[in-house]
Amino acid sequence: MPLNAKLRSMDHEIAQLNMTTRDLRTIIGSLEARVVSLEGGKPVSPCPEGEKEAASDTDVNLPGSDEEKEDAQKELITAEHIKEYEAKMAKHPIIAKTSVLFDVMPRSSKTDLDKMLACVRSISMDGLHWGANERESVAFGIEKMKLMCTVEDDKVSIEDLQKRMMGFKEFVQSVEVVAMNKI
């Protein structure tokens, strides 16, 4: 976070420097025009008399040239886009989520999986959203329940959720995390 703040402040400083540079170019341009008018319409050369032949038009980069103006405009537009993006992200922050797939084993082969599922899904926490479920045959007529959920990482602990599921001792024998994917 400190690096992001430093980058933002540097971007702000760069935008201010660009604006100051643009203002200085405007002032220099108006001063050049004033000097030309005071000299009687003769353009003022940036080179002394002896160096005029050595300098060419491509070597001289006068303040306020078209390329510099375009670069300054591009930088200003980029700074505006960055500010808009930061404002948008401030309104809608990114929330870290994880998709979790659990294997829930019933207490015995006679356990009603629908009741077990209803009990497990009765767990309600801020940041917890239950998803799909599926029965899967294990062996000898025993079935387990595969259960998917999405949790917000800052609000829900997966270990705490497992403990709460294990709290239904008459239905649940064990709960294992099969897969976790960051969203």
Per-residue model confidence (pLDDT) at position 63:
56
The model's confidence at residue 60, banded by pLDDT at 50, 70 and 90, is low
Residue 155: which residues within 8 A CB-CB, separation 6 or more?
Answer: 125, 126, 127, 128
Domain(s) labelled CATH 3.30.70.60 in the chain stretch across 97-182
The alpha-carbon radius of gyration of the chain (Å, integer) is 35
pLDDT tens for residues 27-58? 998 888 888 887 776 655 555 554 444 444 45
CA atoms within 13 A on the CB side of 71: 9
Taking a C-beta distance cutoff of 8 angstroms, is the pair 4, 86 a contact?
no
d(CA 21, CA 69): 10
Share of the chain above pLDDT 70, in %: 85
Give the sign of the dihedral formed by CA 59, CA 61, CA 65, CA 70.
positive
Just give the CATH number of 97-182. Answer: 3.30.70.60
Share of the chain above pLDDT 90, in %: 42
d(CA 143, CA 101): 16
76 pLDDT above the threshold of 60: yes
